[in-house]
Each structure stands twice: as structure tokens, then as C-alpha cells.
Structure 1
Amino acid sequence: MSVRVRTARLRALLLTLVTFFVVAATATGCAGGDERPRVVVTTNILGDITREIVGDEADVSVLMKPGADPHSFGLSAVQAAELENADLIVHNGLGLEENVLRHVAAARASGVATFAAAEAADPLTFHAGADGAKEPDPHFWTDPDRVRTAAGLIADQVVEHVEGVREKAVRDNARRYDGQLADLTTWMEKTFAAIPEDRRALVTNHHVFGYLADRFGFRVIGAVIPSGTTLASPSSSDLRSLTRAMERAGVRTVFADSSRPTRLAEVLRQEMGGDVDVVPLYTESLTGKGEGAATYLDMMRANTTAMADGLVGD
């Protein structure tokens, strides 16, 4: 093959490569211009609520997978980048997503709009540990009325910060979902009404149902882990104090996260020297589809039924 032929073929190959990269760059630029607005949500409970409000107006990306613990889940590098590129970040706040909040703070510092739902829902406090120090309670979603407040504020945030959404569509979605939340509250009130006053006592694996107790008239006797996070561990004195409180109140039913009821039952049986009924609930995470709590509404209805059955039969 002559030098002239080889040179011509090399030039043709280079021209093909240059053309390919120019076309690819142009296509990428066009795609970037057509990207849909994006809302990134940290927890799957808030993710479900936000999707109900946003509808088809924007993409909603949820960082926490079904069944994950919000206190311990962390982010991949790709997920951290999602936060930086979001139009709006919806997170729980009040220390719930302990390993994620620094990424949210970094995104906020770079100019991304953020909204902490729990901090805007009239938060409660609880007494934690032996010293009884007060801590903010991040588990506001156990009160559907506070979720109604947060949902309305999420709609406001979407309209204000997410360009390209149709305000009327977002408001219509929020209004429809608000009606569903109001129906949930009414149904919960009727279901809990069947529980006698002297049986309205709650013991949980950690402090998670304070808002529900405040809204629907329950007494919180105590928690196996006297903290608002699952990352803490109960001491022997904590367990002694709890079992004494349970004995004084005549309570032998404990409500625990569905992921760890067996271990908890064994610990309490050893402490109390007898049978303890541990009722599994969905506390801080939704499940996959068909697993009992795929949506916030499903979760609250399942928990309400289990609590009513557990306390009436205690």
C-alpha cells in the first residue's frame, strides 16, 4: 500500500472521528437543554408525599431505598451529586438523616433550595437518656395533621423554586392529597376510639410515636432505646427503668420496627421474666410494593390497625 493511500485513509478516519465527537457534543447539549426539573428527597416517606404533590410536573428522586433506616443510611458519590444538581431538596431535618445532612448543607451552600419538613411542622421534644435532657423529635409523620401542614409547604416550595412546573397542577395535586390526609385522620380517630382509656399506653423500641401520642391521646410509657435514633443502644439501667414503668402501668405490649421485633422480644422477656407481646410496625421507612407499607397512607393505616388490635387485646 502506497504512502499516499495510507495518508488518505488516515485523514478519512480522523475526519470521521471529529464528526462523531461534534455530533455527540451537539446531542449532549440539546439533551441538557431539555432536562426536566428535579426535586431530590432524602427519605422515602417524604419521597412518597412529595411525589403526590409534584405529580408529572418534575422528576422526583428519592435517596433512601425501601426498608432502609434513615438514621444510618448514607449516600453514594452519584447521589451526593444529585443533591448538588437539584432544583429543590426536601429533607426531614432535626437530625433524622444523620449521615446525609452534611451533603444537604453543602448543596444549600452552593445555592440549591432546601426545605426541612420536620422543622416546619411545629416540632415536639422528648426526654432522652437517664439525664432526661430534651431533644427535638424528628418523627413528625406519625401525626397526619402535621403531614398536611408539611405537604402544603412542600407545594409552596415546589412552585417557588422549581422552574417549569405548572402552579395550578401542583396546587391541584396538593389539594387532592390534603383531602386524602384529612380522611386518614378521621379514620384513625374512629379506629383508636375503640381502645379504652386505661389501655392507651405506648412502649416502643425507640422514641418514634410521640407525635401520634400527642395527636390521638396516648401515653408514652417509655422506649427500649431512650433516644430518637436507632443508632443508640439501651443500657441495663435503661431496661430496668423501662420494665418497672411497664409493670406499674400493667403494659406487656411493645411496638417495634418490623425489621427487629424478635431480638427485642427476647431482651424484654429476660428483663420481665415472662411473656411480652412485641407488635411489629412500620416506623421510619416505607416498604417495597406489596410488602405492607408502599405508601405513607398504607403505612399509617397498617400501623393504626396493628396498634388498635395490640392494645385492645393486651
Structure 2
Amino acid sequence: MSHRYRILALTAAATALIPLAACGEADAKADAAGTTGLTVVATTPEVADFARAVGGDHITLTQLIKVGVDPHEYEPTPADIKAISDAELVVENGVGLEEWLAPTISSAGFRGPVVDSSRGVALRPDDPHIWHNPQNARLMVGNIEKGLAAADPAHAADYAKNSAAYTAEIDELDRENQAAFDALPAADRKLVTDHDAFGYYVDRYRLQFVGSVIPSMDTSAELSAQQLTDLVAKIEATGVKAIFTESSLPPKTAEAIAEQAGVRVIGGEDALFGDSLGAPGTPEGSYLGAERHNTQVITAALAGR
């Protein structure tokens, strides 16, 4: 079923989540007033983390896509429609990652502002994984700060202060990443991943992208037999040391290719965070922690450790 028709079907179900006393607009606003601060809905774990860092105690945040869930295949729920209906601000990644969002917003009857956090980012063709370049993350945080300040001018100074402090942490992450790759011989900076989610990361740190197990940025694509054979040949020819699996994707195909090519598979606790973050409450449950994890795992494996 397409996103559009599924969302239309869910709209009726979503109404069951709305108390009868809250059916009118005035009652909905009254419900929202019972929450603490600006009511914000963020789509992905990454933009939710950015919004949390900038908004602090001045916002009440609902994150739609939970950690470990593939955003490319996400289907909105009745609870999502209800959350958007009650929101004062919606924050999205943009670049087409959330194709389901516009019809969901329409079904929810939301008329408030939507912050596209990708504004100003220099885009790769059809690649929504912009956060993997920390310089893009800086822009995303700045866009979110502007959106929060416009929706809640009374706390604009606090949003600016939080944004500046968080941006400094992103800059430190970027320096750490660069130093880690600078310590590797250029000939070892070769990457094979589950799917093509790390283009911005590869460009930022001047890596060689050899290929991916899923030959697309869309996780629903599959390798043909010829593509599989070609990828194994490229791995062997380029001297790639490992295939990196991702936390939100099954590792079976990557393991099969690695066995044929005679290289290591990096997975389990060392799986990369390509489309998601780690579990809440863990270091990898934040953007900064997940990106540090990725760099530490990649550089260690490429160094033969």
C-alpha cells in the first residue's frame, strides 16, 4: 500500500486516540497548554537529538522514528498523526528522507511551521544522509535554532546559547574525526558498507568508497547476482580490509559477501549507525556519540586492529 493511501486509512484510526473533549480546536490547544514548553515533533533520531540539544527545557519533544527503525521504509502510525496534530512546530531532516511526512501533516490538519533542517546544505544527488558530515550538522542545528526562536521568541536567547555550545561540540567531533583519518595511510582509507549512507562522510574525510552491499541509498534495493560478483571482485582488487554492517539492517548478505571476498565483517556491537542512533541512554544514543563510534570502528578496522 502506498504511503498516501495508508496515511488516509490511518487518519480514521488516529481520531480514536483523541479524547472527545479535545475534538474542538480550543480544547486541543488547552491540552497542549498542559505540556511544558513549546510542543515540538521531530521526525528522525538525529534531528530529534539536535532539537533536544537546542531546545533544552523550553520544549516538549516527540520523536516519531524510533532508534533502529529504517527511515526509508517508515510507515506513520495513528499516534504520529495525533502528535503532529497537537504540535506547534515540526522538524524534518528533509532531502526527501521523509516522503510520508507531507501527507501525514495534511491528514493531521497541522497548519504550523515545518523546519526543513537541510536548508543551506550542499547536497549530493538524491542523498538524504546529510548529518554524516559534521559541517552539515552545524547547518541543521542552526536551522532548528531559527525555527525554535521564531516559534518561541521569548526564549530565543537561550536557543542561541544552546546552539552555540552544541555547535562547538560538533566542531570538536569534526576535528577528532579528521585527526583519526589523518593517522591512516591514504591507501587504507577504503570503505564498503551495507548501503550507500556515508557519502557525505566519505567526501568530508576523503575516503574511497568502494561499494555497498545494497547498491543504493534506499535500503529496499537488492544486489543482482552480477552486482554481487562485481562487488566481490572490487573488494579483492582494491585490498579492502572489511565490510561494515549497519545497526538498522540485517547483516546476512554482508556476511556472505565478506566470506566470498575473504575479508572481515564488522557488526554486532561494532555495527555502524548509518540511518539511526544507538539505544537511548547509551553514549551512541546521541548524534555525537554515534558519530564518534562510527569513526572509531572504521579507523580501527582499516588499521587492522
Q: Which residue of 2 aligns with 1:111?
A: 111
User: How far 1:100 sits from its partner (Å)?
Assistant: 3.9
Q: Which residue of 2 aligns with 1:238?
A: 227
Which of 252, 275, 287 is matched with 2:278 structurally? 287
User: How far 1:254 sits from its partner (Å)?
Assistant: 1.1
Distance 1:28 1:203 in 2: 49
Q: Which residue of 1 aligns with 2:147?
A: 157
Unaligned runs of 5+ in 2: 1-20
Which of 135, 139, 161 is matched with 2:129 structurally? 139
- Alpha carbons of structure 1 residues 213 and 104: separation in structure 2 relative to 1, 3 Å: farther
- Alpha carbons of structure 1 residues 27 and 158: separation in structure 2 relative to 1, 3 Å: closer
Give the letter aligned to residue 40 of structure 2: V
Distance 2:51 2:177 in 1: 22
Which of 180, 183, 195 is matched with 1:194 structurally? 183
- Alpha carbons of structure 1 residues 260 and 166: separation in structure 2 relative to 1, 3 Å: closer
Which of 280, 287, 310 is matched with 2:301 structurally? 310
Distance 1:80 1:255 in 2: 35
Name the TM-score, length of structure 1 as normaliser.
Answer: 0.80
Contact 1:265–1:278, Cα closer than 8 Å, also in 2: no
Contact 1:50–1:154, Cα closer than 8 Å, also in 2: yes
Give the letter aligned to residue 186 of structure 1: R
Distance 1:248 1:219 in 2: 13
Contact 2:132–2:201, Cα closer than 8 Å, also in 1: yes
Distance 1:27 1:291 in 2: 38
User: How far 1:292 sits from its partner (Å)?
Assistant: 4.9
- Alpha carbons of structure 1 residues 80 and 198: separation in structure 2 relative to 1, 3 Å: same
Give the letter aligned to residue 274 of structure 2: T
Distance 2:29 2:134 in 1: 44
With 115-124 and 211-220 compared, the bigger mean Cα shift is at: 115-124
Contact 2:47–2:93, Cα closer than 8 Å, also in 1: yes
RMSD over aligned Cα atoms: 2.5
Contact 2:44–2:63, Cα closer than 8 Å, also in 1: yes
Aligned positions of 1:67-106 closer than 5 A? 67-104=68-105
Distance 2:274 2:139 in 1: 20
User: How far 1:259 sits from its partner (Å)?
Assistant: 4.4
- Alpha carbons of structure 1 residues 163 and 246: separation in structure 2 relative to 1, 3 Å: same
Aligned positions of 1:16-95 closer than 5 A? 33=33, 35=35, 36-95=37-96
- Alpha carbons of structure 1 residues 154 and 258: separation in structure 2 relative to 1, 3 Å: same
- Alpha carbons of structure 1 residues 56 and 165: separation in structure 2 relative to 1, 3 Å: farther
Distance 2:166 2:33 in 1: 32
Distance 2:226 2:119 in 1: 32
Greater C-alpha radius of gyration? 1
Unaligned runs of 5+ in 1: 1-20, 126-135
Question: Equivalent residue of 2:284, what SS?
Answer: coil
Question: Equivalent residue of 2:71, what SS?
Answer: coil
- Alpha carbons of structure 1 residues 30 and 233: separation in structure 2 relative to 1, 3 Å: closer
User: How far 1:104 sits from its partner (Å)?
Assistant: 3.9
Question: Equivalent residue of 2:144, what SS?
Answer: helix
Aligned length: 277
Q: Which residue of 2 aligns with 1:278?
A: 266
Aligned positions of 1:210-289 closer than 5 A? 210-260=199-249, 262-269=251-258, 271-272=260-261, 274-279=262-267, 280-289=271-280
Distance 2:259 2:176 in 1: 37
Name the TM-score, length of structure 2 as normaliser.
Answer: 0.82
